[in-house]
Amino acid sequence: MNKQRLKRQIGLLQPTDLQGQVKISQFEKLIENLTLYHSTKYIKYYNHPYKINCLALNNDKTSFLAGNNNGTVSLWNLDNTLSTSHILNNKLARTSTKPHSHLFGINDMKWYSIDDGMFFTCGNDKFVKLWDTNKFINVQDLEFNSNLFQMDTANQFILVTLDDYYPRLIDLRNMNLGITIFGKHLNSKTLCCKINPVRDNLIASSDNDGMIRIWDVRMNYRSIEEWKAHSRSINDMVWNDNGTKLISTGVDGKIQIWREPFNETQGQLIGDINITRNRFLKRTSQRMIWLNDKYLIYNTDLNEIHIYDTVENKFYNRIEFPRDINTNGQFMGMCLQDDLTNGMGIRLITGANVSSINNDSFILEYKLP
């Protein structure tokens, strides 16, 4: 770290670069603690009786939403104490009630990127719901013709992936919620869509045939790049922070990183090929988080979270499902608190669903002691 400060003093390191190094250092310490002490360094939020499907951290990264399999939404505050390994009941702030909920399970959710006064959910009842955070009720429903699995947001847009061939882009600036369908010529079902975090006119989509396409919404939703990225279905992707790299994962057992200019010659394999790591096409809508171009946090189908080094393109470490909760459970949904200015420190929040008679479900908050 002293070397990093020296580089900053002589102008070789920008403040944002130093902050990124601190994030990486804190994350490495967090994973090291988990490896040494296994399941003792986390805080449990009791969420019974609702199974968790997805999580979403708010913009200032002090609270998060949980989307549940019964269609309800829960709002939680991050714990600000140093206590560990106990159950907290007082961090649950709000829970939605009928009729202000989905009829069936919520598959994905996102906060409005401009402020925390609104958030969005989608699910198996074929609805996208717009929510007022303060009142904690949904204020507008948008119905589609099939189930909705994944969503993304940027500025005034919501991008949703449906259980059909064509993604939809919802324009919030239109009071009637103008909806644009793109990719009508596609012959394979689209499974995932992600908006570029810097150039929000660019959208990456992946499909059932292992194709990735880059779309430009300014060019009449024309595909400007497309290539065969995987031999089988691609069910999740993630951009890096500056939108110059893309990671994809598919049921062919591969995790691949793609760099500009995007084409099939630019792919590099991360880790080994493991078809058991991603066996279920739609088990979770939140498989990957990419931290500062360095570490990929990957929610596997093996009851584990894997960490990959995306600089050296190799496996780094793993987080096992906590043994003191159950030996038969799955991580469902995850989000990362990486804002070092709010005093929280690096924290990984995950859902933990247990296959048991009681159908127990927890939210786990991993942090440094």
What CATH number has the domain bearing residue 157?
Answer: 2.130.10.10
Which residue, chain included where needed, has tokens 């909760």? Answer: 325
- Locate 123 and state its tokens: 């699910």
When divided into structural domains, the chain yields a total of: 1
Side-chain half-sphere exposure of 181, counting CA atoms within 13 A: 9
- With respect to residue 131, please indicate whether it lies within any of the assigned structural domains: yes
- With respect to residue 19, please indicate whether it lies within any of the assigned structural domains: no
CA distances from 167 to 144, 205, 320, 330 (A): 11, 8, 34, 28
- With respect to residue 15, please indicate whether it lies within any of the assigned structural domains: no
Residues paired with residue 130 on neighbouring β-strands, in sequence order: 120, 140
- With respect to residue 204, please indicate whether it lies within any of the assigned structural domains: yes
- With respect to residue 362, please indicate whether it lies within any of the assigned structural domains: yes
Choice among 113-117, 178-182, 244-248, 334-338 with the minimum mean pLDDT = 178-182
Q: Are strands 361-367 and 157-162 parallel, antiparallel or unpaired?
A: unpaired
pLDDT at residue 90 greater than cutoff 90: no
Where is pLDDT greater, at 307 or 178?
A: 307
Rounded mean pLDDT, 269-286: 95
- With respect to residue 10, please indicate whether it lies within any of the assigned structural domains: no
Give the domain extent around 273: 26-367
Among 177, 217, 174, smallest CA distance to 193 is for: 217
- Locate 89 and state its tokens: 């009941």
For 299-340, how does the pLDDT look when each residue is reduced to its tens digit (9 = 90+)? 999 999 999 999 999 999 999 888 777 778 899 999 999 988
pLDDT at residue 36 greater than cutoff 80: no
pLDDT at residue 25 greater than cutoff 50: yes
- With respect to residue 169, please indicate whether it lies within any of the assigned structural domains: yes
- Check residue 37 and give left, alpha or beta (phi > 0: left; psi -120 to 50: alpha): alpha
Rounded mean pLDDT, 68-78: 90
The rounded distance, in Å, linking the Cα atoms of 197 and 201 is 10
pLDDT at residue 88 greater than cutoff 50: no
Q: Are strands 127-132 and 118-123 parallel, antiparallel or unpaired?
A: antiparallel
- With respect to residue 184, please indicate whether it lies within any of the assigned structural domains: yes
Rounded mean pLDDT, 121-146: 93
- Locate 107 and state its tokens: 């598959």
Amino acid at 82: L
The rounded distance, in Å, linking the Cα atoms of 12 and 315 is 30
Residues paired with residue 255 on neighbouring β-strands, in sequence order: 249
Average per-residue pLDDT for the chain: 85
Choice among 73-87, 131-145, 177-191, 310-324 with the minimum mean pLDDT = 73-87
- Please return the burial class of 53, using the count of CB atoms within 10 Å of its CB with bins 0-12, 13-18 and 19+: buried
